[in-house]
Structure 1
Amino acid sequence: MTARQAQPRPDWVHRATPIAGVERIEAFFHGKAYAMHRHDTYAIGRTLAGVQSFQYRRGMRHSLPGQTLVLHPDEAHDGQAGTDAGFRYRMIYVEPALFQDVLGGTALPFIEGGISTDARLRAATDTLLQQVSHPLEPLEQSDALAELAHALAAVSGQRPMRTTGDFPSARRAREYLHAQAHRVVTLEELEHATGRDRWSLCRDFRTFYGTTPYRYLVMRRLDTARRLMLHGLSLADAAASAGFADQSHMTRHFSKTYGHTPARWLQIASAPRRR
């Protein structure tokens, strides 16, 4: 084998333009892909080639081509190739609020183990897991999300019952945090904006949106920072514009959320795609 042949294929990630709370990617990795991290969205995907391995809920999982991955919001996980050949996959990241628009205030569906072979989930993800080069119309995406929400609820075995939590107050808190993500927000402000005491509100927020109010606030800042970085801003300027105290503050949260430093994330996001 020549030195040229021995060189591994470069890792790459390609993204579709996000639409209304949904991010779509297709990626290839060999070896270690992501360190342990967690984000406040559902990560729902399909392995296209190779073995996609990851630690999830105290166990090692292995997804094979054609299987559906469903990682619950705020659950820690990593990612690596299960073989030397690497792995390729597509993934969508869906804000829990979009599923709540369909489910109307029930607890978020949970798929045990993070991997499913259920035909209902495969069919419900077909539209959203098309090639990222295929644009989705807003109504097409909306219909697909509704179908996916119902499929998740059915496959998880979730009974269609409302929880005892206050969904309208949790929704008001989410809207307030979304609008104020560029600055420090206190629990007193959230109490005033929602009319709920802080502890009940935090409990309900996690039930309906899968994470805490502070984690939701940080994720919105990271969304802004990534967008600015892709448009060419320096890491320091992106951190300041997104509402972080400084670049190191952003980097700590970025690594915990995406499993990469900002610099590494930019590197693989701009790598050439190879078949």
Structure 2
Amino acid sequence: MNDFIYKKYGGITALSASITDFSYKKHSHSEYAIGVTRRGIQHYHLDGHLQLSYQNGVMLFNPEQTHDGMAHDDSGLEYVMLYIEPHLLLEAVERREIFRFSNPIIYNKNIQYHIINLAKAVFKQENEHICDDLFIKLADSLIGYDTCDKLHGQDSLIFIIKDKIRSFSKANLRIDMIAEEFSMSKFQFIRFFKSQTGMTPYQFYLNCKIEGAKEIIEKERDVYSAISEYQFVDLTHLNRQFKKIYGLTATDYSRYMN
């Protein structure tokens, strides 16, 4: 049995998930993702390294950090996640530059408590003031624990390349043309991109299309606008790709946004 529940408040999306035989495909998110393993063991690869989050583990994902995910064994897995838009977290912690969490998994009861409280408030659709106060408490607990480093680790060229690929998210991707623009052969380009991100350019391109479709669904509550704008073949195509990243179809996700 696999169950996914999403709710959104401002720039924060909360997810409550219970999975047994579901596996996330390799993907990344534009947001910071912060969560707690409630039951079982969260098994995932982050930047090519295996991570295991046991019960009460606090999981910290940086924007666009490549990962997959599944339950470690047949006993299944339950967890909550908060997806926080970068500008919102930067404002809350009073920083101007993007930072990265230095450790992917920590065990800290204070941070765990604030994640769960904010997630509950988002699911209950508490008023704005309550959610804002809980978010500030979470942000303070993260900075107080010194979990963060300045952005590092990726070649600066990769950020330019990512922006270029994003510009094709509503059109057909021509990897050979982009590679030529950066003075690489097609296969040199693919190898460089994967070495920096853990994904191929095409995987990143699909990821951008799905994230774009998700934003349209959240704003317009219309899956067919998402299909049209991001040039998915049909609803089945969008649903299939969407589920690989978010655990449920775009159609089901739109129901949670209503």
Equivalent residue, structure 1, for 2:244: 259
Equivalent of 2:74 in 70, 84, 98? 84
Deviations 1:40-78 (A, max 9, x none): 011111111111111112211111221211111100011
- The secondary structure found in structure 2 opposite 1:128 is helix
Instruction: Output aligned runs, 1:1-275, within 5 Å.
Output: 10-16=1-7, 18-102=8-92, 103-112=94-103, 114-130=104-120, 133-158=123-148, 221-227=212-218, 231=221, 233-234=223-224, 237-240=225-228, 243-247=229-233, 255=241, 259-260=244-245, 265-266=249-250
Work out the CA distance in 1 between the residues paired with 2:4 and 2:246.
15
Change in 2 beyond 3 A, CA 1:227/1:247? farther
Change in 2 beyond 3 A, CA 1:59/1:233? closer
TM-score by length of 1: 0.61
Q: Which runs of 5+ in 2 are unaligned?
A: 151-168, 172-204
Q: Is the 8 A contact 1:39 1:258 kept in 2?
A: no
Change in 2 beyond 3 A, CA 1:218/1:42? same
Q: Which residue identity does 1:41 align to in structure 2?
A: E
Work out the CA distance in 2 between the residues paired with 1:31 and 1:216.
22
TM-score by length of 2: 0.64
Work out the CA distance in 1 between the residues paired with 2:21 and 2:107.
25
Among the aligned pairs, what percent are the same residue? 18
Q: How far has the Cα of 1:258 moved from its partner?
A: 6.8
Change in 2 beyond 3 A, CA 1:79/1:131? farther
| Larger Rg computed on CA atoms | 1
Work out the CA distance in 2 between the residues paired with 1:65 and 1:261.
22
Question: How many residue pairs end up in the alignment?
Answer: 208
Deviations 1:216-269 (A, max 9, x none): 98576323343389x5644xx4322xx324447x968x94x873489x524775
Change in 2 beyond 3 A, CA 1:261/1:131? closer
Work out the CA distance in 2 between the residues paired with 1:101 and 1:251.
37
Q: How far has the Cα of 1:20 moved from its partner?
A: 0.7
Q: How far has the Cα of 1:30 moved from its partner?
A: 1.2
